[in-house]
Amino acid sequence: MSKNSQFTLSAKPTSFPSIANKSIDLDGLRVAYKEEGTGRAILCLHALGHSSKDFLSLYQLPLTEYRVISLDFPGHGLSGVGLQPVSAAYFARVVEAFINRLDLRDLVLVGNSIGGAVAIRLAAHNPNVRLISLSNPAGLDSRDWLAPLFLNVMVGFFQYGVKRGMGYRVLFGWYYRLVLVNRKAAARRKEITGDAIRLAPALVEGWRSFRETSEDLRPSIHQVRCPVLFTWCMKDRFVQFNRNKKAIQQFAHYKLIRYGVGHTPYIECPQEFLRDFQNFLNANNPAADGRSIS
């Protein structure tokens, strides 16, 4: 795709493409994923408790120019239950194996929440990762004295779900109205909240992992040399911009765009994200000189 090429999006899409599911076996773990296109690989990594469905809007990209791939993390979507507890470190190992199996090169990573933490881990050491787009990633929080208190509360909440506590489904629904706040996310929010009980064990493990020092990615920032696009959802009450701003500013090559939505721009403001993401891709096209970031 040339640096100035564009694609057309309908102003108010009523639906996104339906993409068939595929799967592969990675050392005994069934990993489900969606894939369309023949061009440069864009690998999409979802938030904790979500799935590859979050990225259906990205399949509006010109699929003769891009190969869009979105996978389900272990214990999510159609993938099998993980062989290890949920954490960004474990997911990064799974994704690395996935990348190697599909022989993905000149790779663009799109990551949200824990998926963003996975993208940062991979970009820090995998030379096949050339660009990353991060939406409210885990691992960059300032980690003051409030952080462990908040994380303990969240772990306790999801443990209540594991025990099938009275009213948990209703409480989970209220919680997700704070996560995905935009009306455009209503259908996706309903899907996620309908899976509240099944997701509870993975949510316990994931939020518990956030307490670990090993999940603090700030020491790895200097190892990320590729251009980074931050698309931050400013209404996020759980991964707050002000608590991550200092870490964002430490990346060598980054651009920051802010949206007035809750946590996942591909669901809540897909057209705005696709516009900004395409501009990022065009500004960092392999055919362009250097690795400039506009």
pLDDT higher than threshold 50 for residue 276? yes
> What does the DSSP 8-state code read for residue 214?
G
Contact 88, 110 (CB under 8 A): no
Please give the average per-residue pLDDT across 235-251, as a whole number: 98
CB neighbours of residue 51 within 10 Å = 23
The answer to whether position 292 is within a domain reads: no
Give the domain range for residue 52: 21-142+217-283
- What's the number of domains the chain is made of? 1
pLDDT tens, residue by residue, 173-206: 999 999 999 999 999 999 999 999 999 999 999 9
The CATH number of residue 240's host domain is 3.40.50.1820
Please give the average per-residue pLDDT across 263-277, as a whole number: 98
The answer to whether position 69 is within a domain reads: yes
Model confidence at 250, pLDDT cuts 50, 70, 90, reads: very high
The answer to whether position 56 is within a domain reads: yes
pTM above 0.85, yes or no: yes
The answer to whether position 173 is within a domain reads: no
pLDDT higher than threshold 50 for residue 139? yes
Please give the average per-residue pLDDT across 237-243, as a whole number: 97
Model confidence at 289, pLDDT cuts 50, 70, 90, reads: very low
CB neighbours of residue 235 within 10 Å = 17
pLDDT higher than threshold 60 for residue 272? yes
Which residues is 256 bridged to in the sheet? 230
User: What pLDDT score does 16 carry?
Assistant: 74
| Rounded-to-5 percentages of helix, strand, coil across the chain | 40, 15, 40
pLDDT higher than threshold 80 for residue 287? no
SS3 (DSSP) at 271: helix
Share of the chain above pLDDT 70, in %: 92
The answer to whether position 115 is within a domain reads: yes
Chain length of the chain: 294
User: What pLDDT score does 183 carry?
Assistant: 93
User: What pLDDT score does 294 carry?
Assistant: 41
User: What pLDDT score does 293 carry?
Assistant: 45
The answer to whether position 191 is within a domain reads: no
User: What pLDDT score does 291 carry?
Assistant: 41
The answer to whether position 250 is within a domain reads: yes
The answer to whether position 174 is within a domain reads: no
